[in-house]
A and B are shown apart, each in its own frame.
Chain A
Amino acid sequence: MVTHGKSSVTRVTERTVWRTATVASVAHPSRSLAILRLEIPDRPAHLPGQHYVVRLTAEDGYTASRSYSVASSPRVPTVELAVEMLPDGEVSGYLTEVVTPGDELEVRGPIGGWFIWDATTPAVGIGGGTGVVPLVCMLRYATEVGRADLLRLAVSARSLPDLPYADELAAAGALVAITRRPTVPPARPTGRLTAADLAPLMTEGATYFVCGSAVFAEAVTQLLVDLGVPAGAIKVERFGPSG
């Protein structure tokens, strides 16, 4: 694949060394969400689905680190992370409220050799809330390499403002399920994803990427298993309360 950054085949230690990223831009598409674009010199290229760890250090040496999936395609020069502000989130609070362009952040990555997709085989991505972020990376990359036909998407959130990249996902044909507050004339009745939503997405030989809260991931994987998807074809990334 053609990518920014070095070859995608890199030694593990090259991906786990701490690097200094410079914040190129910060956007706030909604009150609780920040989109950070980072310049990371000499970084290894990532695969869609991988994440970075961000580590913050206080004056007294105390550190806190959290993982964030990459939203940007491997082909663009900066690394884009979407951060949701969580209640009392010491890292998410900093990244959504304090960080400004020009700030330096310690990062390591890209990390993850399991929840990854290279746009050469069929895939179904099902994401809840900020769990859509790695799927957005998959979508962008697949579109760029001309294989968007291989990817089917269903995404869900409490309301449209809680769904990062909602417009981009909807424009790409993703099924969008809003569970609580309809904010536009709903194309689909308000409510959680159901078996009837997912059945049309099922694809022979596909890998199913499920990403979201523990409750979301549990519900979706059970729906898929009940629909006859082999458990071995389901890859799950669960977001805990990780502050």
Chain B
Amino acid sequence: MAGPTRGFLGRHRGPDDVRLPPGQYDVGDGWPVLTAEATPRLVPERWTMTLDGLVANPMTWTWAEMHALPQTTYQGDIHCVTTWSKLGTSFTGVSVDVLLEAAQPLGTATHVLATSTTGYTTNLPIEDVQDGKAWVVWDHEGQPLTPEHGGPVRLLVPHLYFWKSAKWVTRLTFLDHDQRGFWEQNGYHDRGDPWKEQRYQGD
């Protein structure tokens, strides 16, 4: 069957819908939590951020060093593969571009594997973390990120489904190949573009 489902009308479709990728709905002020693991209790002073792999200068920043870098705020929308979107929200932290400038990925680097303190991983093409598309963030709408939303610090790649925005991120490893992360090994899409509805492998 490719046609309509008998008797299904769906919710009211409003003017804001142009901001919703296909199959997504607006969660409003809410922000659902989706995690596959126990929420870790991280001590910021013991957290570090590392860029390694195919980079000219492997780098590690402490919490204090990260906060001394130029900060930027992302203002916009986020989209979860479980079909909710949160419109017009904001996050503050450091652009991954700032980290890349210090670490200098080699020309052979094509992909990134993000790793969390929990061991969670997710893979991204290098283009998706460059040129103002990705951040390492610690504030949400002016408040410190809460632990269940990845606090004290998470990756933010808002143009892709939100499982790519690894909570409790601690490492970006640059690779010359695509290496599947946690959800990607479990059937989720390698890129996860919400506008192309790339939810699962094969989409």
Residues of A at the B interface (CB closer than 8 Å) are: 12-13, 15-17, 20, 55-59, 62-67, 88, 90, 94, 98, 103-106, 108, 111-115, 214, 217-218, 221-222, 224-225, 231-232, 234-238, 240-243
- Given that A64-B25, A241-B32 are known contacts, is A221 also in contact with B38, CB under 8 Å in the complex? yes
Residue in B8, B37, B202 whose CB lies within 8 Å of A98:
B8
Residues of B at the A interface (CB closer than 8 Å) are: 1, 3-11, 13, 22-23, 25, 27, 30, 32-40, 80, 82-84, 118-119, 148, 182-183, 185-187, 200-203
Q: Do the beta carbons of B8 and A56 come within 8 Å of each other?
A: yes
- By a CB distance below 8 angstroms, the chain B residues around A235 are 36-37
Mostly, the B contact residues are: loop
- By a CB distance below 8 angstroms, the chain A residues around B33 are 214, 217-218, 238, 240
Query: 20 other contacts beyond A94-B8, A98-B8, with CB at 8 A cut-off?
Result: A12-B201, A13-B201, A16-B200, A57-B4, A57-B8, A58-B5, A64-B23, A65-B83, A88-B11, A112-B186, A112-B187, A115-B36, A214-B33, A224-B38, A231-B118, A232-B119, A234-B37, A236-B36, A238-B34, A241-B32
A105 and chain B: residue at smallest CB distance: B5
A-B contact count (CB 8 A): 120
Residue in A17, A90, A231 whose CB lies within 8 Å of B40:
A231
- By a CB distance below 8 angstroms, the chain B residues around A224 are 38
Q: Can you give 11 A-B contacts (C-beta < 8 A)? A: A12-B187, A16-B202, A58-B10, A63-B23, A64-B23, A67-B82, A106-B1, A111-B187, A115-B36, A214-B33, A224-B38
> Once the chains are docked, how many angstroms separate the CA of A56 from the CA of B25?
13
A16 and chain B: residue at smallest CB distance: B200
> Once the chains are docked, how many angstroms separate the CA of A94 from the CA of B36?
28
Expressed in whole angstroms, the minimum distance between the Cβ of A38 and any Cβ of chain B is: 13
> Once the chains are docked, how many angstroms separate the CA of A221 from the CA of B118?
14
> Once the chains are docked, how many angstroms separate the CA of A217 from the CA of B37?
10
> Once the chains are docked, how many angstroms separate the CA of A221 from the CA of B41?
12
Residue in A57, A66, A108, A231 whose CB lies within 8 Å of B3:
A57
- By a CB distance below 8 angstroms, the chain A residues around B118 are 231
Q: Do the beta carbons of B202 and A12 come within 8 Å of each other?
A: yes
> Once the chains are docked, how many angstroms separate the CA of A238 from the CA of B36?
8
A243 and chain B: residue at smallest CB distance: B25
Expressed in whole angstroms, the minimum distance between the Cβ of B55 and any Cβ of chain A is: 29
- By a CB distance below 8 angstroms, the chain A residues around B40 are 231
Residue in B22, B36, B38, B82 whose CB lies within 8 Å of A225:
B38
- Given that A105-B5, A238-B34, A241-B32 are known contacts, is A66 also in contact with B83, CB under 8 Å in the complex? yes
Q: Do the beta carbons of A114 and B186 come within 8 Å of each other?
A: yes
Q: Do the beta carbons of A214 and B32 come within 8 Å of each other?
A: yes
A112 and chain B: residue at smallest CB distance: B186
- By a CB distance below 8 angstroms, the chain B residues around A114 are 36, 182-183, 186
> Once the chains are docked, how many angstroms separate the CA of A145 from the CA of B185?
28
